[in-house]
Chains A and B, each alone.
Chain A
Amino acid sequence: MTATKLSKAATHDHASRIFDLDVSSLRELNQALHNLTPGSNETAWEVLHPKGSHSVAVGVDQPVTIDVRGSVGYYCGGMNSGSTITVHGSAGPGVGENMMSGSIIVKGDASQYAGATGRGGLLVIEGNASSRCGISMKGIDIVVHGNIGHMSAFMAQSGNLVVLGDAGDALGDSIYEARLFVRGKVDSLGADCIAKEMRPEHLQLLQGLLDRAGVTGVKPTEFKRYGSARTLYNFNIDNADAY
């Protein structure tokens, strides 16, 4: 008797907990995720019918996996701390905004400011990302399989942005110390962003990022590195007339 009960419980623990947003509210989903405590057995979650909902799985702070079956709206996975979120669709503006750790994988495209202000973790966009990807990034790693839009990595402070396709205008405008690796063409570089030499440590770093993002068949040597010329770090008296 006891054995049967145990085996049932075990089966239940290993199955995904499914939230259908046609039936349950978004608030119930996020509250359930926030109620998770360290060591919880509810490690696999599945979200059905997101239909462009905002703020799906924001603020998760436990190392669970969350599979979102469909496209999401604003801020999916924002502030993520340790969970692995896969969006089986496209993501609206601000996916992974201010992520701390863990990973977010978007199978489709991502809208504006993907990974904005992210402090850690890995954001993978398997399609294209639009404008302002990685704006003000502060330590996050972002890997985009396709292209990124204009003003990406604006004021990026640290972390790595890897783009297998092309980058739009004004890449890395006013960049601090983030590293940008672009395989395709760059429409234009923003103020104080320059092409830099790819040294062995960068090739090694990039290989590691590609491996973590599950990218195969692409060599680090195919990329160019961009970063800060560091000319905006200090006020230049010759520019005083501009203010």
Chain B
Amino acid sequence: MCGIVGLFLKDKSLEPKLGAMLSEMLVSLSDRGPDSAGIAIYGAPSGNEAKITIQSAKPARDFRDLDTELAKAIGAPVSIAVKSTHAVVRTTPAKIDEAREAIQALRPDIRIMGAGDVVEIYKEVGLPEAVVDRFDVRKMAGTHGIGHTRMATESAVTTMGAHPFSTGADQCLVHNGSLSNHNNVRRELIREGMKFETENDTEVAAAYLSSQMAHGKNLGEALEGTLSDLDGFFTFVVGTKNGFGVVRDPIACKPAVMAETDQYVAFGSEYRALTKLPGIDNARVWEPEPATVYFWEH
């Protein structure tokens, strides 16, 4: 099963509530997947800071003094905001790749959840309610976000096996389904230089999209490519720095419902996820067509 949600705000006045709205949507789908849950929130760009979301199984040990050690290593100011097992590292955008490498050198057990100018990614094993509480997601503001609650099929129930998967700056993806040609595609992408953290099929889809966009395609064109290059069952919801996209495989077994009003575009695996959104009774509600790319950009 798995449950996925996405919310792309058009009305700026809702931005302070993004975390609360997305959390509510995800929690409503808890019974579609009890193994792990995760959320990616796209906040407002600050202009002079980039962010890396990191995770550690031993946060007290790994996050202590990391800011000063990292600042020294990269020669730029660094701040760290710790949230449970995750932390958001902020530094100057020009130093982001250097910071990423330095973190892994300084703290080999830390895992990178994602990086970019605006995205923050939080994911853990457990039910959506526990995960959004643990990371205080309800208080987060943002322009758009995606979330996932997992019933594991293709790889182990671990933090790293949870969605969203992020393989490029400010890019991430959630998936309901399972891919059958992920090993082949992973091998091709590794040859291109993409790096993988897991054996998970969804990470391959995320890396595929990152690779396509790195080759100059926009989100819509990259999603179009999944229809011919990825084999298996999928409904994908994807976030980029300023965009939000949805695509389903041609068979479209995996459920999907969307709603659009003047205030937002919302996605849910089921209508249940959308029932508490403002104005839902008058929203345009539809099922995305199979093999059809939908995307919105700010």
Contacts and interface: CB of A to CB of B under 8 A. Distances in A.
Given A52-B275, A93-B255, A109 B270 contact: no
Contact of A112 (B255, B273, B274, B285): B255
A130 B285 CA distance: 13
A131 B235 CA distance: 15
Interface in A144-167: 149-151
B252 interface: yes
Contacts of A52: 270-275
Chain A at the B interface: SS class: loop
B287 interface: yes
Contacts of B252: 112, 130-131, 149-150
B290 interface: yes
A51 interface: yes
A46 to B, nearest CB: 18
Max count, chain A CB within 10 A of own CB: residue among B252, B271, B274, B290: B271
Interface residues of B, number: 15
Contacts of A130: 252, 287
Contacts, number: 39
Given A111-B255, A131-B252, A73 B287 contact: no
B256 to A, nearest CB: 9
Interface of A: 51-53, 71, 73-74, 90, 92-93, 109, 111-112, 130-131, 149-151
A123 to B, nearest CB: 18
Max count, chain A CB within 10 A of own CB: residue among B255, B272, B275: B272
A51 B272 contact: yes
Contact of A53 (B251, B257, B272, B287): B272
Nearest to A113: B253
Contacts of A71: 271, 275, 285
B271 A92 contact: yes
Contacts of A73: 270-272
A78 B25 CA distance: 26
